[in-house]
Amino acid sequence: MSLTSALTQQLTRRPQRLALLEQIAVQGSITRAAKAAGLSYKAAWDAIDELNNLAERPLVERSVGGKGGGGARLSAEGERLLALYKRLESLQARLLESAESEQDLELLGRLMLRTSARNQLSGRVLDIQPRGRNDLVKVELAGGAHLLAQITRDSTEKLELAPGRSVVALIKAGWLRLLPLSEPADESLNQLQGRIEEIFDAADGPSEVRIALASSQTLCALVEPERLAQFGLKPGDGVRAQFAPGQVLLGTAL
């Protein structure tokens, strides 16, 4: 999915994210930028992670624990996107003015659906191997990591997948199984290695674990506190996130 399609949809559908990028450029602090954009600190981090994951290169460069709750600034790519979006705003206004009816706008909204999957990672198709009525699609993520997605042949054809095609891999947070790097890997599963960046505990359910990958993309996993305690996992620890090829959904630009 191209930078101007996936990310522009995110910013168009969620204007607070554009405000967040603008405030990061001004404030240089995640905490201050979040407050100015009307977001909670955690929501700001979630937004930054999702935007960075969709981009081929990070839009926001950050440092945990800096002045004001964590320093942050726009990368050159982020500055370019912000400038591009401001140019697109005038074009968008002209497009909406040309819509003949409210039904036209409703149709556009249905074509740009949101997803409940917390992990949305941009990548490119490397290979497609037939597996009966299914296909095993090999995807290269930003930074060079690979994963496999098992989808139906109909889905492959509907998405017009082929080597070199840009895609977004969607993985629900509850599908990720975390293990310390010292534990043996299950070779039948996808493996993404990273470092635990932050853990958000919940009083009545699994903890939310934020994992920084070497590619600067971020994974979010929902993990029961008992499992975290079993392996003594804490921020700063290296972990392996495992998930089955059948638990990867693929999306492409419209």
DSSP 185-252: P-TTSEEEEEEEEEEE--TTSPEEEEEEETTS-EEEEEE-HHHHHHHT--TT-EEEEEE-GGG-EEE-
187-231 per-position pLDDT tens digit? 999 999 999 999 999 888 899 999 999 878 889 999 999 999 999
Q: How far apart are CA 18 and CA 78, in angstroms?
A: 11
Contact of 227 with 180, CB cutoff 8 Å = no
Residues above pLDDT 70, as percent of the chain: 79
Q: How far apart are CA 38 and CA 42, in angstroms?
A: 12
Which one-letter amino acid corresponds to residue 174? G
Alpha carbon distances (Å) from 240 to 44, 136, 212, 243: 25, 22, 11, 10
Please give the DSSP secondary-structure letter assigned to residue 29: B
58-116 per-position pLDDT tens digit? 888 876 654 445 578 899 888 888 887 777 666 555 655 555 555 655 555 544 555 66
Domains of the chain: 3-111 (1.10.10.10), 115-254 (2.40.50.100)
H/E segment holding residue 7 = none
pLDDT at res. 197: 92
pLDDT at res. 10: 60
